Amino acid sequence: MSDENPICSAKGCRADAVWVLAWNNPKIHTPERRKTWLACEEHREHLSQFLGVRGFLKDVVLLAEWEDRAEEGG
Ligand SMILES: [Zn+2]
């Protein structure tokens, strides 16, 4: 078990991630597949827009909530 906090996926950002952006590229992923980016408060909007304009963005949830979902196994 790692004690390192997840870090924001934005280029050059070392801030702790607060948000999970779940996305899917229909050209390369099956519809139920979810890729995830992590984002700090500052970069959530920027990264969401990047995925959103491409039609890839599926969900934006708090990291804590995402981990709860994962534990539920579904
Ligand atoms: Zn960031």
User: How does DSSP classify residue 53?
Assistant: H
**Placement of tokens 């779940």 in the chain:** 22
Report residue 70's pLDDT band, with 50, 70 and 90 as the boundaries.
confident
**Count of domains in the chain?**
1
Find the 6 Cα to ligand 1 centroid distance in Å: 11
Q: 1 pLDDT exceeds 70?
A: no
Phi, psi values for residue 39, rounded to 5°:
-140, 145
Full-model pTM: 0.86
| Residue 5, pLDDT score | 83
| Residue 2, pLDDT score | 55
Asked, for residue 5, whether it belongs to a domain, the answer is no
Residues 24-43: pLDDT tens digits? 999 999 999 999 999 999 99
Find the 4 Cα to ligand 1 centroid distance in Å: 16
Which domain, by its residues, includes 36? Answer: 19-72
Asked, for residue 4, whether it belongs to a domain, the answer is no
Find the 19 Cα to ligand 1 centroid distance in Å: 10
Find the 22 Cα to ligand 1 centroid distance in Å: 16
Q: 67 pLDDT exceeds 70?
A: yes
Find the 42 Cα to ligand 1 centroid distance in Å: 6
Taking residue 69's Cβ as centre, other Cβ atoms within 10 Å add up to 14
